[in-house]
Amino acid sequence: MKKNHRLAAICAGLLQLAFVELAILAPLPAGAESASTAITEVKIDNFTFAPQRVTVKVGTTVTWINEDDIPHAIAATGKSFRSKVLDTEDKYSFTFTTAGVFEYFCSLHPHMTGTIVVETTAGGGAAQ
Ligand code: CU1
């Protein structure tokens, strides 16, 4: 039994090390990353959208995940998207097909706000 506890402690320590290493090896994008993933997650926890501001390319699906223990709902200020009420662990996805700055808030707690910045993919029609 004691051995298991020690093993668990060692595992946790190793995991922590791995995370630290990842953080060092993966510097923050400088804004010029090319092949970013097409799916982005925004977590909702403790009355906060995290990250609060996300920059994506046109065509990206953003998924909000409610990790809080109370319900939240997502509503675009410009009414371009709106989720149903999300209970804990519920998700809502929206695919951004047009460029622009999309402000949104929680329709249950309007002081909770976030921004999705959608950029055009073209750097001058390079994909042709
Ligand atoms: Cu909320």
21-51 in b/e form (b: 16+ CB < 10 A) is eeeeeeeeeeeeeeeeeeebebebeeeebee
Q: What pLDDT is attached to residue 95?
A: 97
Residue 11 falls inside a structural domain = yes
Asked if the model's pLDDT at residue 70 lies above 90, the reply is: yes
Q: Where are the alpha helices (DSSP H) in 1-128?
A: 2-25
Q: How far is the CA of 63 from the centre of ligand 1 (A)?
A: 16
Q: How far is the CA of 84 from the centre of ligand 1 (A)?
A: 12
Q: How far is the CA of 112 from the centre of ligand 1 (A)?
A: 6
Q: How far is the CA of 59 from the centre of ligand 1 (A)?
A: 26
Domain region containing 9: 2-26+37-119
Q: Which residue has the higher pLDDT, 111 or 21?
A: 111
Q: Which residue has the higher pLDDT, 100 or 10?
A: 100
Q: How far is the CA of 42 from the centre of ligand 1 (A)?
A: 13
Residue 113 falls inside a structural domain = yes
CB 53 within 8 A of CB 31: no
Residue 77 falls inside a structural domain = yes
Residue 128 falls inside a structural domain = no
Q: How far is the CA of 79 from the centre of ligand 1 (A)?
A: 17
Residue 31 falls inside a structural domain = no
User: How is residue 122 written in tokens?
Assistant: 């073209």
Residue 16 falls inside a structural domain = yes
Residue 126 falls inside a structural domain = no
Asked if the model's pLDDT at residue 65 lies above 50, the reply is: yes
Q: Dmax of the chain from CA atoms?
A: 63
Q: How far is the CA of 73 from the centre of ligand 1 (A)?
A: 6
Q: How far is the CA of 106 from the centre of ligand 1 (A)?
A: 5
Asked if the model's pLDDT at residue 28 lies above 70, the reply is: no
* Interatomic CA distance for residues 66 and 85, integer angstroms: 10
Residue 108 falls inside a structural domain = yes
pLDDT tens-digit profile of 33-61?
444 556 799 999 999 999 999 999 999 99
CATH of the domain at 82: 2.60.40.420
Q: How many domains does the chain have?
A: 1
* Interatomic CA distance for residues 57 and 53, integer angstroms: 14
- Residue 61 parent element (H or E): strand 61-66
